[in-house]
Amino acid sequence: MGIKSKEQNIVKRCLQGDQKAQRQLYQTYANKMFAVCLRYGSGRQDAEDILQEGFIKVFKNLERFQFKGSFEGWVRRIIVNSAIEHYRKNLKWKYTEDAQEVNIASKEIGVIQALNADDLMKLVQKLPVGYRTVFNLFVIEGYAHQEIAEMLDVSESTSKTQLFKARAALKVMIEQLEQQEQ
């Protein structure tokens, strides 16, 4: 039985109310999705809340998945949207509006790219939540600034500004790490 067939079988059983299948679906994707939640949350508790909210939505909307794309990608999108809704609902962040177009110096990008993924994720966790969210949506998830602006109900320039500030803050953190290692 192929992966798609297994997924279809599990989803069908979940839709029939099979708790064993629901547990299996959760266990299959929970660790990967928790890693996504950690990128957006302020800590483990926040990430656990986002994960729980996200999986509730996954199970509520399971009948909408048509197996026309990746099931994992579909679940991931719900989890990311849950993270965004979580912060909107809890009003844990504010954006700094900046009408000027933001240009990111290639030097700053090079410094960030020099880190391995785990080190970078640890630094990203230290960013203020607004910076962290835009950084994750743009750099990790691949959304355009226009899409981010629509998702977060901010202007496109605010999205660009938050990304610029996130990268600048990361650059400072990286430079501090480099100084500590010398």
Q: Which amino acid is at 169?
A: A
* Cα angle value 70/76/77 (rounded, 5°): 95
> N- to C-terminal Cα distance for the chain?
54
Question: Which residues in the chain are classed under CATH 1.10.1740.10?
Answer: 3-90
Cβ 26 vs Cβ 55: under 8 Å? yes
Q: Classify domain 106-181 by CATH number.
A: 1.10.10.10
Separation of alpha carbons 159 and 135, rounded Å: 9
Question: Which residues in the chain are classed under CATH 1.10.10.10?
Answer: 106-181
pLDDT digit string, tens, across residues 160-172: 999 999 999 988 9
CATH architecture of 3-90: Orthogonal Bundle (1.10)
Q: Is the pTM for the entire model greater than 0.75?
A: no
Place of tokens 């950084």: 135
Per-residue pLDDT tens digits of the chain, which is 182 residues long: 565 778 888 989 999 999 999 999 999 999 999 999 988 887 888 899 999 999 999 999 999 998 888 899 999 999 999 988 887 776 544 544 443 444 444 444 444 555 666 777 788 888 998 899 999 999 888 999 999 998 888 899 999 999 999 999 988 988 887 777 66
DSSP 66: -
